[in-house]
Structure 1
Amino acid sequence: MAQLDYVFLADYAAVTGGKLTAIGASFTKVVVPSFPTQLSLYIAGRIRADHNEGNCPLTLTILPPDGSYEIRGDLELEPEAEEPYKENKVGLLFAAGVVISLPTEGLYAVQVSLGNEVARELKFFAEEEA
C-alpha cells in the first residue's frame, strides 16, 4: 500500500535524474504587496510504494479561506517505472506547479490525497505587507 513519506510547499520544485530539487521550501507564510494577487506555488514530495503495486493516484486540492474556488489536479505515479531500493520498495518523487489566485488575506489549504484518502493537509497564511 502506497504511503506519503513527505510533502511540502515551495517557491520552485522539480524532479530530474531521480532527485528532487526545491527552492524556498516548507513555507507557512506568504507576504504579498496587496490583495487580490497571484502566487506561483509548487507542491513536492515522495511516495513510498511496492514496486509491483500498480499506479498510485495522487490528488492535489487547493482551497482559499473565502471558498471562492477549488483547484484540483490529479497525477498517476507509476511504481513499475522505478528501480526498487529496498525490499521491493520504490520512492516516487513528484513536483507540481500552479499559479493560484490569492483573493484575500487568510489561511489557504493544500490537500494531498492518495487514492480517496487525504494523506496530508498543508496550510499557509497569506498576509499583506506592512
Structure 2
Amino acid sequence: MTDPSHDLDLVLARKVLDAQPFSRLVGARITAFGDGAATLEVDLREELQQQNGFAHGGVLSYAADNALTFAAGTALGAAVLTAGFSIQYVRPARGRTLVARASVVHAGRRQAVVRCDLLTVDEAGDETLCAVAQGTVLSANG
C-alpha cells in the first residue's frame, strides 16, 4: 500500500492553491505541506479588514477551511472536499500576517478530522492565537 502523501509535495500544493481564483484574490500562500499538516499564510492588508481594523472573520474562515483541506490532502490524497468545519474566534485578529496551521487529528480511508490554529504575526514576529477551527474532510474518490 502506498502513502498518498508521497504523490503530493509543497510545489504541487502551491500550484493547486494558485489555481483557486479566490485564493489569488486574498493573496494566500502555502508555506508548509506534508506529513499530515499544512500551513497557509495571508498578509493582512487593509482590504481584508473589517471596520475596526481587525482581519475580517471571513478571511479567518477562508484560511481555516483551506488549511484544513490541504492538511487532510496529505493523508487522503489530492481529491478532497470539506464536509464541514466550526471555528471559534478567541480574540480579534490584528497583525501583519495571518497564519493557519492545520494538522490531521485522525484519518481513515475516506475522511479525516483536522484541527487548525489561526494566529496573527506582528511586526516583531510575535504570534498571537486568534481562532481555532476543526473540521471533517472527505475523500472525493469515495
Tell whether the structures are fold-level matches, with TM greater than 0.5.
no
Structure holding more helix per residue: 2
Q: Which has the larger radius of gyration?
A: 1
Structure holding more strand per residue: 1
Please indicate the TM-score interval, normalised by the length of the shorter structure: 0.3 to 0.5
TM-score norm. by structure 2 comes to 0.31
TM-score norm. by structure 1 comes to 0.33
